[in-house]
């Protein structure tokens, strides 16, 4: 199966600074990498995803990069705002599979 590791487990940043979360995966044939944001007591919400045919994808202040050779992908949040405070999860399905293996999550706190 797929093994996804996520770092750091907690991240505190000053408002306006950038936040970076990194994940590694084990199955070299995986080709889909979503990121979810979960606010306290709420559902995980898909915020961005990337497929293996591209190395980077950006959506306003959020970007994801993928390095297939090294088997890692990262979430970048620029110009952080208090509403970015949440737990962020990376995920990946094993090759030829559909169930998502999630990282353990990163609790991001944006200090005003």
Partner 1 sequence: NAGVMQNPRHLVRRRGQEARLRCSPMKGHSHVYWYRQLPEEGLKFMVYLQKENIIDESGMPKERFSAEFPKEGPSILRIQQVVRGDSAAYFCASSPRTVQDNEQFFGPGTRLTVL
Interface residues with partner 1 (CB under 8 A) are: 31-32, 34, 36, 42-46, 49, 51, 89, 93, 95-105
* Shortest distance in whole angstroms from residue 86 CB to partner 1: 14
Least distance from C-beta 69 to partner 1, angstroms? 20
Closer by beta carbon to partner 1, 31 or else 65: 31
Q: For partner 1, give the closer residue by CB, 47 or 78.
A: 47
DSSP type of residue 55: S
Would you say 37 or 84 has its CB closer to partner 1?
A: 37
Q: How far is the CB of 23 from partner 1 (least distance, A)?
A: 11
Provide the token pair at 107: 């609790």
- 90 near 102, Cβ under 8 Å? yes
Burial of 42 (0-12, 13-18, 19+ CB in 10 A): exposed
Are 62 and 70 spatial neighbours (Cβ–Cβ below 8 Å)?
Answer: no
């Amino acid at each position: 199966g797929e093994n996804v590791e996520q770092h750091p487990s907690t991240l505190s940043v000053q408002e306006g600074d950038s936040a970076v979360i990194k994940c590694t995966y084990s199955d070299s044939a995986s080709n889909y990498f979503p990121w979810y944001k979960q606010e306290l007591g709420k559902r995980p919400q898909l915020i961005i995803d990337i497929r293996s045919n591209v190395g980077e994808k950006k959506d306003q202040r959020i970007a994801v990069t993928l390095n297939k050779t090294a088997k890692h992908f990262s979430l970048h949040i620029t110009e952080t705002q208090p509403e970015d405070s949440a737990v962020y999860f990376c995920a990946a399905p094993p090759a030829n599979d559909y169930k998502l293996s999630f990282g353990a999550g990163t609790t991001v706190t944006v200090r005003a």
